[in-house]
A and B are shown apart, each in its own frame.
Chain A
Amino acid sequence: MTARNMTEFYGYLRQDGSVGVRNHLLVIAPIDCSFEPAKKIAAQVEGAVAVTQYHGCGNDSVLVHNLVGTGLNPNVAAVLVIGLGCETLTADIVADGIRPSGKPVERLVIQEEGGTLRTQEKAVHILRRWAQEVAGLRPEPFPMSRLTLAVECGGSDATSGLAANPAVGVACDRLIDEGGTVIFSEPQEMIGTQHILARRAVSKQAADDIYKMIDREEVRLKARGVDSRWMSAGNIDGGLTTIEEKSLGAIRKGGTRPVQGVLWNDWDRFDRPTRPGLWLQDGTGWDVPSVTHMVAAGAQVVCFTSGQGSTTGHAAAPVIKITGNPVTYAQMGDNMDVNAGTILDGSESLNSVGERIYGAIVETASGKRTKAEALGFRDYIVFCRSRAAEHLLGHC
């Protein structure tokens, strides 16, 4: 099914009023011990996907926020949480966090069920029932204002700041002008642009948060012995003159609209956008977890730019991969969805490529599979900072 025009997409209305663009059946293993059984369970039911984070079994609230957030994502139609039984981060903690959405949530605990085979049998029954139910859902048209897009980059090269990122920025501006929401993250790549992003902030609170988030990231890098303020010789040889220019090339992928605020992602709070527009997330420069955190904050679709080419998909959201490098598009055609390299060879304008990316967002939201989806790539990582290190740095 394709959208009738570029002002709406086809999605699935959830009980909490959100609109999903997929009907994933999410199997969450909140701890290491239940992940292998969870994977075996998910593999038996079409549309089911298992996620975990190898962390032991302690109750780290960043992890809980993100697992719960993934379950709450509108692309997830139903959630099954599989626990072991003796863990601190129990299946109930995660399941109870997702239940207020009204979507079907069940939990099974392996030690209570009497082993993995009994758990599997019950789990597969539950998932098959849900799979039947979601198969009967028909997508309906919704305005683009119901969409939240996450933007990310990975495997950047000299074409990223020149073609793919600005073109995605054009698409972000268009989505925001339609009343939609955009999230971008990677505060490491914002270093040197604090003043620029803060000037775009809609409030003093937002401006203060922008400084706080990026300054903290700088402190972390410094603590690791990295002086982020200066450019590498390679950056300068590649044509980047100042740190502002370097970071602007990265942040341009979020477009040019006003910044509504920072979405904090720490032990005390996990924010979601409270109104449409452009939001920054306190995330990581590591691409897969960065996507996970934005999806956990509610993004239904992801745009991922990569100069050198990337394979990334995601467990709970389609990832549209865009390259500004025509050679990469030719060589990595199995993995890259959109060729923005036409900007470099002069055959297409920046704005025209931006419109094409916007079209890809609408079509993907309306059900068109991305390359990563077709290949079955279901990446999922949560990034948990060291709480001890954050304490020593005075951040908590």
Chain B
Amino acid sequence: MGNSAIQIDERDNVATATGDIDQGDPIEVISPDGAVIFRSKAEEAIPFGHKLAIRPVKKGEDIIKYGEVIGVALKPIPSGAWIHTHNVGSARLPSRGREEGVL
């Protein structure tokens, strides 16, 4: 087994686990080109399909996946940490934005 997580777009600050990662497991993040761009040890369990930060993220900073903003950090997130609904929120209320002028 090679990667434990992949970065989908080179602009991304998160990677997605390609298998279940247990607490304490070594994490290797592979770029779209196949290069290892991040190595760490899992501070917490990261299930398959879930994300981890591959750079430290400040509160309010954009979370980038697929080269696009998928949400905003609700608190500071250290690199290697699990990223999900507990620390990231939608950057805008989905799909209503333009008409209703919501965030």
Contacts and interface: CB of A to CB of B under 8 A. Distances in A.
A239 B14 CA distance: 12
Given A158-B48, A162-B8, A248-B66, A241 B84 contact: yes
Interface string A382-396: 000000000000000
Consensus secondary structure, chain B interface = loop
Q: How large is the interface on B (under 10, 10 to 19, 20 to 34, 35 or more residues)?
A: 35 or more
A236 B89 CA distance: 12
A241 B2 contact: no
Nearest to A251: B66
Contacts of A192: 94-95
A238 interface: yes
A324 B1 CA distance: 16
B94 A239 contact: no
Given A241-B71, A346-B1, A158 B49 contact: yes
A195 B51 contact: no
A59 interface: no
Q: How large is the interface on A (under 10, 10 to 19, 20 to 34, 35 or more residues)?
A: 35 or more
Nearest to A159: B49
A242 B91 contact: yes
A125 interface: no
A352 B34 contact: yes
A13 interface: no
Contacts of B79: none
Given A162-B18, A239-B47, A248 B98 contact: no
A276 B97 CA distance: 30
A239 B48 contact: yes
A243 B89 CA distance: 10
Interface string B1-43: 1110010110000001111000000000011111000000000
A239 B92 contact: no
7 contacts: A158-B48, A162-B8, A166-B9, A192-B95, A194-B98, A239-B16, A249-B66
